[in-house]
Amino acid sequence: MAERSSTDPAVFTIAANHAFADSLAAGLIERFGGDPLALAGGRILLPNNRAVRAMTDAFVRQSGAGLLLPRLIPIGDPEIEERIGGALDLADEGEPVAPAIDPTERLFTLAAILGREGIGSAEALRLAADLARALDALRIEDISPARLAGAVDETSDLAMHWEKSLAKLELITRAWPQILAQRGRIDLTERRNLLLRRTAARWQSKPPTGFTVAAGITTAAPAVAELLAAVARMAGGEVVVPGLWLDDVMPKAEWDWLGPREDGHGEPNHPQFQAKMLLDRMGVNRDGVRNWPGVAGASSPPQRALAVANAMAAPRFSDKWETLAPAGRRLEGVRLAEFPDVAAEAQGISLVLRQALETPGRTAALITPDRGLATRVSALLERWGIEADDSAGEPLSHTPAATLILAIAGAAAEDLAPVALLSLLKHPLVGGESDARLKWLDHVRALDKNLRGPRPAAGLAGLDRYFAEQDRAKRVGRDWAVVRPLAAALDGLLAVPVPLATLAQSLADLAGQLASERAWRGSAGRMVADMLAAWQAESAARDLIVTANDALPLLRSLFGSQALRPPYGKHPRIFIWGLLEARLQRADLVILGGLNEGTWPGQSTPDPWLPPKVRATLGMPTLESRVGLSAQDFASALGAPDVIVTRARREGRSPTVASRFWLRLKAIDPDIAVDRGLADLARVLDAPDAVRPADRPEPCPPAAVRPTKISVTAVDRLRADPYSFYAEKILLLRAWDPLDADATAAWKGTAVHDVLDAWFRQDGCAAGTLAPRIDAMLADEALHPLVRALWRPRLAEAIGSVEGTVEADRALGREPARSEIPGEAIIAGVTLNGKADRVDSLGDRGVAIIDYKTGQAPSKPVIAAGYALQLGLLGLIARQGGFGLACSRPKSFEYWSLAKDKGQFGYRRDAGAESGQADFLDWTQALFERAAGDWLTGTRGFKAKLNPGRSIHGNYDQLMRLDEWYANAD
C-alpha cells in the first residue's frame, strides 16, 4: 500500500445495510488474498472476543478454501470488562506495566470496605459492583478522581443522600490507589488505557510491518480514540467504522447538531452520537470517511438506510417527516408483528425461525435484550429438535451446580425450615443415581407429607422433637433417620457470621457430601467449583463477613453475574443474540424482539454513586447515552435483508407501552408492512380443533365401593356437594396443607380443642386454670409471632367468657361430665361416628352436647336449612347409647364459640332452638336417612355443587372443572 501523509487519515465505513464482518473479510481477501503471507502478516484490531469469533467465521465463509488469517486482536471493550488482547499486552516494552487486579478481588475488597459502614454483605456487594463501574467510568473518560471534589462544588444543590454518597466516594477514590499500590496492581481500565496509549505512541514512531485495520470499534473512550487516530494516520493503517451515516444519509446540519454544540449540549440518545464523538476525538472529519471497497454477505435495499436515518432523526429535525419523499420513508423488507402477550410473541418468533430452515442455507437470528423472551423462544424451538445457538448463554445461577450451592445456603440460612430443607433434599444432584435416587426420594416424600402445616421449631433439635412425636415416629421415623445425617451437617452452618472464604469451603464440602462428584460435572459444575476455590483463596473474601440473612442474596448475585456460554455444536443457522453479541454479525432474517419501552431501550438504572449533574459537570456519558447505544444497535440490526420487529401488548397482567423505536418506524412509514397472520398462527398452533367444555360431573359408582361409614362432620358436605364427598371418601383424594403454612382455622381449632380437653380432664374446668393453658399453647415455637400477637387478646376475652359461663351453669346445677368422647351408631344401614367435644350433665333433664368453635358458629338460616347437622347427628348417636348410657338423653345442642358476637368475644348458641323444629333429633334423622338412602346405600349420582350456596370448600373445584360448566349449570 502506498505511503500516506499523517494529515490524510484512512477511515472507512461499511453501511449498516451490508454485512460488516463479511464485507471486511471480502475486501481484505481481495486485496491480499493473492499472497497468503501478506494476509497473515497483517493484524485486525477488534472491540472484543465476540467480534474475533465473528471475523473468524466471516473469513471462513468468504475464503471458500483454506487461508492464513491475520492476527485478530481484541482491544478489550470497556462495556463488557474484557482484558486487552495479548498482542497489545507486549506494549509494556521498557518500563513494565503493573498487572491488573482481578475483578473478583477488586469486588470483594470494595465490598469489605463498604461493609465496615454497617450494611449487610449482600448490599455491600451490590454497592461495590456499582462502585467498581463508577471507578471504571472515571478511568475510561480519563477523569481524575481529584476532579470529583470540584464537580461537587459546582453542583451545590444536590440532595442530602447524593452528598453522602459522593463524600463516601471521595474517600474511597483517595484510598483505592493506595490499596492497589500495596498489592502491586492497577485497575483493568487503567492498564488498558496505558497499553493502548503506549501502542499508539510506538506505532506513530515505528509502524508495524504489514497492514493494520481497526474495525468495528464504536466506543469513544479517549485512549481508544487515540489508538485509532494513530492507526488511521500510519503507513498501512486503516480504521473501519461500522454503520456510519454519511452525508447522503444524514445531512451535515443534523450531524453537527449531535454535538458538542456551543450551548454545551448534544444528542446522546441518537444512534450516531457515539460515532460522532469517536471521529471528533480522532480528529477526523466525516467528509473524509469513505465507503469500504468491498461488499459481501446479505444486503438490504439502500433506500432503507435513508428511511431508518430519517426515522431516528433528532427531535429538532423530525418535522421533515411531513415533507419527505416516498423514497426517504419506505422501510421495504421490514415487517411489524404485534402479539397479545409475551407467550404468543415467543411462539410467533419460534415459528418464523423454524420456517427459515425450509430455505436451504438461510440463516435467521433473534436479537433481543429481553432474556426472558430469549429463553422462551429457545425452549419452544426444542419442540422441533432445534437447539438455537444462544450466544448470551444462561446465568450460572440457573444451572444445577449453582442451584445446589444456593439450596445448601438456603437450608442453612433458614435453620432447616421445611421448604428450604426439602428443596435441597429433592435437588436432582442429591440422593445418588438410578435406583438409589428413587429410594432416596421415597424417604424425602414421606417427610414432605408429614411436614405439612405450620413450621416446626428451628434447627435440627426442632426437627428431632417434631419427628419424635409418637404418631410421627411410627410413620416416618425410619425416613428421618436416613435424612438426618445430612440435616445435621447443615445445622449451625450460618448460626454465626462467617467470612465468605470460610463459607465457600463449607459449601464445597457439603456439596461433595450431598452429591459427590456429580456436583462438579460438566461446564457448569467446573465453573462453580472454580468460583468456590477462588473465593477460598481470595484474601479479600476473608474480610467479607456473611450472615444468615445475607448468604442467599449474596450467592445469587455472585452466580447470577456469571454467564455460562453454550459450547459449539448448536444449530448452525438459528441464532439468539443479545445486543452486544449481535454487533458485527448478520443473518438473512433478523427478528428484533421485545420492542417495548423499558426493554428496548432498557430502563435506565440510576448510578448510586455519581448523580446526573456531577456526570454532566465532569463531561461523562449520561444515562441518556445508554439509550443512544440501544438506538445504535437497533438501527444497525435494521440493515439485515429481511427484518421482523415484534412486541407484546401485555406482559403478565400488565399492559405494555410500545418502544419509542417502534413508534418511530410507524411514524416514518405509515404503510409499513404489518404481519397480522403471525399472531394468528401463534394462537392456533396449540389450539384444539374444537373446544367442548366439560359437563357437570355426576359420577355414579357401584354400591360395592360406596362407603357405609360416615363421620358426622362429612354429612353436610355430602348433602351440599356430593362430588367433593365422592372425591375425598371414594377416590381418597385429600388436599395437603402447604409447607410452612400459617396457622389455619383447622390448626387453630385443634389446638384450642386440645387445651379445652386438658382443662376438663386435668383441672375439672376450674375457674382461673384455663388462661395458663392458653398461654402455654401460644408459647409454641411453631406459632408465627404475628398470629400469637393477634390471638392473645381475643382468646383472653373469650376464655373469660367460657369460664364465666361454666361457673354460671354450675350455679344452676349443670356440670361438665365428659370431654372429647367418641361414639357411633347404626342409622339407616350406615354407621355414623363422631366425637363430642364436651357433654354436660343437666341433672334429671338429661345432657347437653357441646361443640367448640374457634370461628363463628353456623348461622340460624344455615341451621334451619339443614346444612349444620353435626350437633343433631351427635345427638342421634347419644340417643342410641353411642356415648354411653349416661349420655343417652340429649336435650340441648350447643355451639360454644370463641369468636366475636354483639361486641364481645365468646358466646353460646343452641342449634336445636334455632332450627325451628319441634323435634330437632327426629328432623335431623329424617334428613340423614334421606341422604344415606340416596348416596350411601342407594344409587344416586354424586352431583357436583348440588347446593352451591352451601358448598364452601373448593379443594376439588379444579378436579370437577368447575369453570367450564358452572355458568351454564341448571
- In 3-state terms, what secondary structure has residue 573? coil
Mean predicted confidence (pLDDT) in 742-748: 69
Amino acid at 150: G
Q: Could you tell me the pLDDT band of residue 264, with boundaries at 50, 70 and 90?
A: low
Cell of 222: 479517549
Task: Answer with the residue of higher pLDDT: 783 or 142.
Answer: 142
Mean predicted confidence (pLDDT) in 777-797: 76
pLDDT at 154 over 70: no
CA–CA separation, 506 and 485 (whole Å):
16
pLDDT of residue 323: 83
Q: HSE-up of 538 (CA within 13 Å, CB side)?
A: 25
pLDDT of residue 279: 93
Report the share of the chain in percent with pLDDT over 70: 93
Task: Read off the pLDDT of residues 374-399 as tens digits, 9 standing for 90 and up.
Answer: 999 999 999 999 988 887 778 888 89
pLDDT at 743 over 70: no
Mean predicted confidence (pLDDT) in 404-408: 94
The H-or-E segment that residue 499 falls in is: strand 498-499
Mean predicted lDDT score pLDDT of the chain:
86
pLDDT of residue 321: 85
pLDDT of residue 877: 93
Q: Could you tell me the pLDDT band of residue 162, with boundaries at 50, 70 and 90?
A: low
Q: Could you tell me the pLDDT band of residue 86, with boundaries at 50, 70 and 90?
A: low
Say if residue 900 is exposed, middle or buried (CB neighbours under 10 Å; 0-12, 13-18, 19+). middle
DSSP letter for each residue of 365-429 = EEE-S-HHHHHHHHHHHGGGT---EETT-EEGGGSHHHHHHHHHHHHHHTTT-HHHHHHHHT-TT
Q: Could you tell me the pLDDT band of residue 3, with boundaries at 50, 70 and 90?
A: very low
Q: Could you tell me the pLDDT band of residue 455, with boundaries at 50, 70 and 90?
A: confident
Range scoring the smallest mean pLDDT among 32-36, 170-174, 668-672, 716-720: 170-174
13-50: buried (b, 16+ CB within 10 Å) or exposed (e) per residue?
bbbbbbbbbbbbbbbbbebbbeeeebbebbbbbbbbbb
pLDDT of residue 873: 93
Mean predicted confidence (pLDDT) in 788-804: 82
pLDDT of residue 80: 46
pLDDT at 742 over 80: no
pLDDT of residue 1: 41
pLDDT of residue 163: 61
pLDDT at 451 over 80: yes
CA–CA separation, 287 and 811 (whole Å):
110
Q: Could you tell me the pLDDT band of residue 57, with boundaries at 50, 70 and 90?
A: confident
pLDDT of residue 425: 93
Task: Read off the pLDDT of residues 692-733 as tens digits, 9 standing for 90 and up.
Answer: 888 899 999 999 999 999 999 999 999 999 999 999 999 999
The pTM assigned to this predicted structure is: 0.84
CA–CA separation, 906 and 856 (whole Å):
10
Cell of 880: 342410641
pLDDT at 285 over 60: yes
pLDDT at 350 over 50: yes
pLDDT at 800 over 80: yes
pLDDT at 74 over 50: yes
Q: Could you tell me the pLDDT band of residue 687, with boundaries at 50, 70 and 90?
A: confident
Q: Could you tell me the pLDDT band of residue 586, with boundaries at 50, 70 and 90?
A: confident
Q: What angle do CA 711, 715, 718 make, to 5 degrees?
A: 125
* Cβ proximity of 67 and 29 under 8 Å: yes
* Cβ proximity of 583 and 633 under 8 Å: yes
Mean predicted confidence (pLDDT) in 638-664: 92
Range scoring the smallest mean pLDDT among 297-306, 766-775, 795-804: 297-306
- CB neighbours (10 Å) of residue 703? 10
Mean predicted confidence (pLDDT) in 38-42: 88
pLDDT at 11 over 60: yes
Nearest to 394 by CA among 191, 587, 567: 567
pLDDT at 450 over 50: yes
Cell of 830: 350406615
